[in-house]
Amino acid sequence: MNEAITKELLEKYRNAFDNDRANRIAQKAAVAQGPAAIVKDYLRDREDLNEFSVSLKQTGVTNQKASGRCWMFAAMNFLRYHMVQKWNLGEFELSQSYPLFYDKLEKSNWFLENILDTLEEPVHSRVLDHLLRDPVGDGGQWDMFASLIRKYGLVPKSAMPESYTSSNTRAMNRYITLKLREDALHLRNAHKNGAERGKLREMKEEMLEEIHRILAVSLGNPPTSFTFEYRDKEGKFHRDTDLTPKSFYEKYIGIDPHEYISIINAPTKDKPFYRSYTVQYLGNVKEDGGVKYLNLPMDEFRELAVRQLEDGSPVWFGCDVGQFSGREGIMDLSAYRYDELFGITFGMTKAERLDYDDSLMTHAMVLQGVNLDETGKPNRWRVENSWGKDSGKDGYYVMTDDWFEQFTYQVVIHKKYLSEEQLAEYEKDPEVLDPWDPMGSLAD
């Protein structure tokens, strides 16, 4: 056997390919149209029905456009559902630009504090490389959103509408990242030259003023007070003056986001079930801590999501959206037959995909319904996305329960649905995962 690919080996491969009629047909179709255009199994459309035994009604579909704010959009879609029910609203959205401003500012502070905590790390250490890679990316998790609204509240979209930059964040992120990496260099050099911690923090505050300036120029200043005007579903006009973002949140939404906790399903050997976890260096609002999860088996993970939906409340969830799914709104392991197209099998388990870097949470959406079969078990889920009305069926996706089991990693559940044993495990001091653990991925 040879170490290299030889001419004889290539000839063997080509002959085997050319002698197979199915290969030749697949090749012609894929070269002409691309693999993705020809792998959809049309028969699955008869199974993946857009009807659900439990279905919550949302008002309108949101669109994050060219930004990675899915976690914010999903969280605000969850909150606006409750607000619409409470206040009998019609079409309504919360401002997605408002928390974006403060998330970038808080992430910048979080990053600079992490730099101060790792001043002795070599410049090319894995830890420092990780911190420098993407200090203010758009992605996030539920606990990070909860920290933001606890500190800053929220505002209606009318008080801080979308802008070009909020919907197209790449350039802004690039220049904030450039500045923060330079700031990290200056802080580390000052430390080497003997600067004390107090002086380094003075430098940090001056650095944050520059980040604030970039954000204010790019997004506009967030409102500190505003008037909320709206019509309810009956057309009656309402006006509420002199609101602050926090008073608006407390009056019109009133949900304590910290009453909702992140449940993960990570069936890898290094993360035993019924334990709580956090991720080193992951978070945004420094004084509120980072993230925390409870790892549960899939049957309990699934049951909690169903119970919350049956009780009339949506469920924020995080998944690997690019796996066996498409923009037409189907998330189904059997719908996209790349195995048949290429004549191969994909045999890794969920745990193996996590261990071998094939899958992690990439996107957050909202469960707005579930279909329970005659035995009471879910077979498909109704998913509210934030990619606009042209994605899926009017913005909604259908997710099979098999897909849910394999590629959903996180659901956010009110504490009241957990058993005493589950809650007791969550409340324990969490085990700390490495910064690069797949459970530390950010949904965007």
Which residues are known catalytic residues? 70, 363, 385
Token pair recorded at residue 281: 């260096």
Helix/strand/coil for 160: coil
Helix/strand/coil for 111: helix
Q: Which residues, other chains included, contact 300 with Cβ-Cβ below 8 Å and sequence gap of 6+?
A: 422
CB 324 within 8 A of CB 335: yes
Residues in the chain: 444
- Greatest alpha-carbon pair distance for the chain in Å reads 81
Q: Please name the residue ranges forming H helices in 118-196.
A: 126-133, 142-152, 164-167, 170-192
| C-alpha of 6 from chain center | 45
Q: CA 369, CA 385: separation in Å to the nearest integer? A: 13
CB 112 within 8 A of CB 183: yes
Rg (CA), the chain: 24
Backbone φ/ψ region at 385: left (φ over 0), alpha (ψ -120 to 50), beta: beta
187: burial class by Cβ within 10 Å (0-12, 13-18, 19+)? buried
| C-alpha of 47 from chain center | 28
End-to-end CA distance of the chain: 45
CB 278 within 8 A of CB 428: no
